[in-house]
A and B are shown apart, each in its own frame.
Chain A
Amino acid sequence: MEEPRQTQLLNQLWEIQLKDGFVNDAAVQLLAKRFDLSDVEVEGVVSFYHFFHRKPTGKFTIYLNNSIVSDLKGFNRIKDTFERETGASFGSVDRTGTFGLFLTPCIGLSDQEPSALINFYPFTNLNAIKVKDIISQLKKGVAPEAICDAPADNIRYMPSGNKTVFFKPFEAGCTLARAGQLGPEGIIEELKKAELAGRGGAYYPTWKKWNAARLQPAQPKYIVCNADEGEPGTFKDRVLINTQARSLLEGMMICGYAAGAASGIIYLRGEYRWLEHKLNEAILEYREAGLLGHTTKHLGNFSFDIRVQVGAGSYVCGEETALLESLEGKRGEPRTKWYFPVERGYLQQPTVINNVETFCAAARILEMGADAYIQLGIPGSPGVKLLSVSGDCKLPGIYEIEWGMTVAELLELCEAEDPFYIQVSGPSGECISIKDKYRRISMLDLLARKDIRCGGSFMIFSKQRDLVKVLLNFTEFFKSESCGICTPCRAGNFIIQRKLERLSNGLATETDLQELKSWGTIMKNTSRCGLGKTATNSLIYAMDKFHDYFAAKLDKEFNGLNLRFDMEGATKEYEQYKI
């Protein structure tokens, strides 16, 4: 089946955005006509994505990361420097139309913050002098791609004794013979034995998903790789794509073979545009080697091909059904659970969606054999996991740990500086106190809360950091990244933000704390997708673990009847009429 034309809408919008710096009215009308849509539908798509604009964004479009790690590393100073040097202010373009300054959440470079994208090329480890230099070069007419950084991979740790799973050299085609021997059912058995579970954070058993897709009678089927790691603090997929594109492609091929699919799509987050060529080069290499786009000798009649789709800046598109919508050229709004993607996914066809790390792991498991893989890690949680470590530590970067490592060991490895609390799995994850440092990191006992399940992001905060400020940063993130389709997430994040501001300003009472918790729980229970369900996680955990800290922020004079009111602030505007 040919993919319908609207799937190309994002690509064409990208083309226009990159060429003209914005999508003007004429372009909207043109695209609407081309795809047989109404204008308002095209506009809805444009306005959904961060990187598409309806107003000019300057010759050089600069996106500065405003995530919490950037904030720790001097975001404010860099922000000021950019404004001073370019003459533009954030959210707008300077008078000459040369520089456009914009803020964007985490761009996957938390190990080298502060960082920014200029015309979608990465600039890392920024400081005031570097920013000055960059801007003066750009003013002289140097192209950003000529002076951008090549972000380091920062692979800091691999299991000792050459036990690395992910980072061994990978020979193209090395898993296919084994896959052919095992056959689709054998592959699924192998993954079952390896207890591989989805690394996007949900930990759904990979074999179950692949098997469910295999059993679907409908054709065609699709294999989709979720390379939209948007969780602030995560960057492991960046490093995998940069160094392990082959194992990623092969993981997808094996999956296609097991599930009976002929095409795969890699949905690459827009922030990683600069990595797109890595994937395309690998795809080309595989095509030329006769492994993609042809029938492969090891796998009988099986033929598979892969293409890359670049996203356009939207955290929620990491949610699998939102990602599917985005792939179809629509707004990235999560679907209801009326159908599962393996039943009706991309273009309403059976679809397997897995994350980059999962596909890489699947390929490696076939390469080394499940028996060898389960020797690593701990019983019940075998194997290894990639963690993206950032924040207050000397050695931020990628840590390939065996499941079962304790938080304390990891903190020591990365040379954490006076760690006080740690945000595990990103803002949607869990906030843990240093008191929990002897807990293990594994897939076990999520509900019993013995071990810590880490999706990938591991952000360390020292005692000097203001927890409420951190939480406000998270809330702002969720508020603007919510897709807006369901009430609790759209309105709830906004409401929670207002309440946290009260707390931050010393106006809150004990009742406010209870309400925060209760409202957070309501959002958790009623939101449509994972974004809203997890948006208040860290807040709720933090309030449990750091009750004294929150208590110290409350209005001490509250007598149960009179709330504090900032009369001066409320009448400030009127005072200007004083004669």
Chain B
Amino acid sequence: MAKMVNITIDGKPFQAEEGKNLMQAARQNGVFIPSLCFYEHIEPPLGTCRVCTCKINGKFSPACTEKVSEGLAVEVNSPELLDTRKALVEMMFAEGNHICPACEKSGMCDLQHMGYELGVSSTRFQHLFKDRVIDFNPTRMVMEHNRCIKCLRCVVDVKTRDGKKVFNYQNRGNETFVGIDYEQEARLTEDEAVNAMKICPTGAIMVRGVSQAEPFGERKYDMESVQENYNAKKKGSSRPPVMSKKIVATVSLAGCFGCHMSLLDVDEELLDIVELLSFDKSPLTDIKNFSSRCHIGLIEGGVCNSENVETLRKFREYCDILVSFGECSIWGGLPTMRNSIPLSECLEEAYLNSATSEAGANIIPYHEDLPKILDRVYACNEIVKIDYYIPGCPPDANHIWKAVKNILWGEEYSILYSEFKYD
């Protein structure tokens, strides 16, 4: 048996096998270090995602490429490291085109899971909306390049029986993508292909005809955090003594009203809402113009036309606090699928060439009374300052109501892991 040595993680002493991968050593000792590319049986470790970055003997370094040695001092959870890790996960969301509600892997996706564990409710980076293809050419698989985080797992691990690579990086820099070899892919057995799909941390590799077994909502990452103390700090609700009546405004910009529907899902707490809130401008009241200053404005949907910009600016003017609720409002969401396609192509598809357009249709609507369509869908925080974000598509009703109560009356709350979702 290998020699055991003493290490410290966040000041606590642990024993670990000398020369062992620090990620594994931490896991064996029950310490959670977030990671994405790390895959136990691949050696040397991949070291591509950098999410497991810690401070090791005072220096920034990923845990997955560190060998355990006597006296190793590891810092995992300092505020700076927590923020750095969060930033890396946010970068992946900003770089790819990750639309969780439209993804088959949702609930089983490692990237999404890291977002949940680290509490990523919005990305600090503007999304890049790089045009990426979906490759339907392989015999058995579909490569969804929008979702790939270039972790390298498939490149290193998936090989044919005679040792040929099936996947490999192509290009470089921000043009890098994982190419798939059609010939070698066709030579994989069904099991090998399904394995490739399984080791993919996101939904980038899909095998035709193979579905994820569990229904949405009951999948691996849907219900429980892997961190024991996920909600520990926020436990216990202490209701503030006075909850004075507040004024709310809501709007759905480039959204589907789904977030508003979700809001109505709080069941008996609707009674509280009626008692504590009065609604000004909102589709719920059908009040078109602000009649008073509001304490809070809830924004659903992103910004896709000139009227959205004006409305959003009005909200900023009339509301003390603005909250983006739902993915579309936070970063653009589902409508951003058009962001990598030229506007003219979108309009022609919608008004001229679609299956439902009338024969001979030749008009793309334009009128001074109509809002002007923007070149792409923008996130609300590209137009005005947004104070808070509530993720989800739609966000869980309890999540919305808890957050609003906290913002308005300072009521302490605890968002359960199962209430924090992107889909």
Contact = CB atoms under 8 A, between A and B. Distances in A.
Interface of A: 36-41, 43-44, 47-48, 314, 316, 331, 333, 335-339, 479-488, 490-495, 498-499, 515, 519, 522, 525-528, 560-563, 565, 567, 569-579
Interface residues of B, number: 68
Contact of B48 (A41, A480, A487): A487
B372 A575 contact: yes
A488 B90 CA distance: 10
Given A522-B84, A526-B60, 5 more contacts: A38-B184, A482-B173, A486-B47, A488-B88, A495-B126
Contact of B181 (A38, A515, A565): A38
B82 interface: no
Contacts of B61: 337
Contact of A571 (B45, B48, B372, B383): B372
Interface of B: 44-51, 53, 60-62, 65, 67, 84, 87-88, 91-92, 94-95, 124-126, 128, 149-150, 152, 160, 164-176, 179-181, 183-184, 306, 309, 313, 316, 342-344, 347, 364-366, 372-376, 378, 382-385
B173 A484 contact: yes
A38 B183 contact: yes
Contacts of B53: 525-526
A229 B162 CA distance: 39
B372 A37 contact: no
Given A486-B50, A522-B87, A41 B165 contact: yes
Contact of B91 (A39, A44, A487, A498): A487
B198 to A, nearest CB: 21
A578 B150 contact: no
B343 A44 contact: no
A574 B374 contact: yes
B354 to A, nearest CB: 17
Given A38-B165, A498-B128, A526-B53, A491 B176 contact: no
Given A484-B176, A527-B50, A563 B384 contact: yes
Contact of A487 (B49, B306, B376, B385): B49
A104 to B, nearest CB: 14
A482 B95 CA distance: 15
Contacts of A335: 44
Tell me what chain B mostly uses at the interface: helix, strand, loop, or mixed: mixed
A43 B168 contact: yes
Nearest to B187: A38
Contact of B50 (A37, A333, A487, A515): A487
Contact of B313 (A490, A498, A562, A574): A562
Given A331-B169, A336-B47, A337-B65, A487 B149 contact: yes
Contacts of B160: 38
Given A41-B168, A526-B53, A479 B174 contact: yes
Contacts of B65: 336-338
B313 A484 contact: no
A530 to B, nearest CB: 14
B422 to A, nearest CB: 19
A457 to B, nearest CB: 21
A323 B18 CA distance: 30
29 contacts: A39-B183, A43-B179, A316-B172, A336-B45, A338-B47, A483-B173, A483-B176, A486-B48, A488-B91, A490-B176, A491-B174, A494-B95, A494-B174, A495-B91, A525-B53, A526-B84, A561-B384, A562-B383, A563-B382, A563-B385, A565-B309, A565-B382, A570-B375, A570-B376, A571-B306, A571-B373, A573-B343, A574-B372, A575-B372
A574 B164 contact: no
Given A337-B65, A484-B175, A40 B385 contact: no
Contact of A484 (B91, B172, B179, B374): B172
Nearest to A575: B372
Contacts of B376: 570
Contacts of A491: 91-92, 94-95, 125, 128, 174
Contacts of B125: 491, 495, 519
B205 to A, nearest CB: 14
